[in-house]
Amino acid sequence: MDEDANDEADFAADALDERERAEKVLLHRLRGRSLSTVEALLVLGTTGVDSGEASEIIEKFLEMNYLDEARLADQIIHSHNVRKGLGRTGVEAEMRRRKLDPGVMLDKLEELPDDEAERAIDLATKRIAQMERFDDQTIDRRLTGFLMRKGYSSTLVRLAVKAAMDSRGGGGASRVRFR
């Protein structure tokens, strides 16, 4: 009878150690960057804890505000929209890649300012200054690709490229230079 009690005690201690280790692994990952709850579950899945314990750990971390999808969405907006100049589509793609809750995504995307056209024109105008050595067709192609990769819609891209080309002033004539 004593052996059964010892085995149960050892099993309980091992389970507790496994849970503590899983929490430490998740905390370590959270020190590097914020995670969505889905990403946190994936991290916990690699530690070997069962799904019930993983859910309990997630709940605990949510209560302690270690996991906060709204805050993560704000960080993504800041890093991708404000710093990198990505459009709404680019920000949304990053949020989907990070597996954010769709409700949180929609709320945060609605908070984005509606100045996408202005932002695209500003980006195109800044970028065109670096392209003066190219002919108009090459500039058009490169600016279009640049803005499309940033996640702007094709309508906004055409508008921004046209505005940037018009803003160049006297350098509007297409010319090819051979060296």
The pLDDT assigned to 86 comes to: 85
Alpha carbon of 46 to those of 49, 74, 146: distances in Å? 8, 27, 38
Boundaries of every domain in the chain = 2-63, 69-111, 116-172
Q: Any long-range contacts for 24-28 (C-beta under 8 Å, 24+ apart)?
A: 26/57, 26/61, 27/66
pLDDT tens, position by position, 75-94: 999 999 888 888 888 899 99
Q: Is the pLDDT of residue 47 over 70?
A: yes
Q: Are 91 and 80 in contact (CB under 8 A)?
A: yes
Quote the CA–CA distance of 95 and 89 in Å, as a whole number: 10
Higher-pLDDT residue of 9, 161: 161
- Band (3; pLDDT cuts 50, 70, 90): low
Q: Is the pLDDT of residue 61 over 90?
A: yes
pTM (two decimals) = 0.70
- Band (166; pLDDT cuts 50, 70, 90): very high
The mean of the pLDDT values for the chain is: 87
Looking from the CA of 24 toward its CB, the CA atoms found within 13 Å total: 6
Quote the CA–CA distance of 131 and 100 in Å, as a whole number: 38
Q: Are 153 and 170 in contact (CB under 8 A)?
A: no
Q: Is the pLDDT of residue 176 over 70?
A: no
Higher-pLDDT residue of 19, 8: 19
Quote the CA–CA distance of 48 and 127 in Å, as a whole number: 49
Backbone torsions φ then ψ of 105, nearest 5 degrees: -60, -50
The pLDDT assigned to 88 comes to: 86
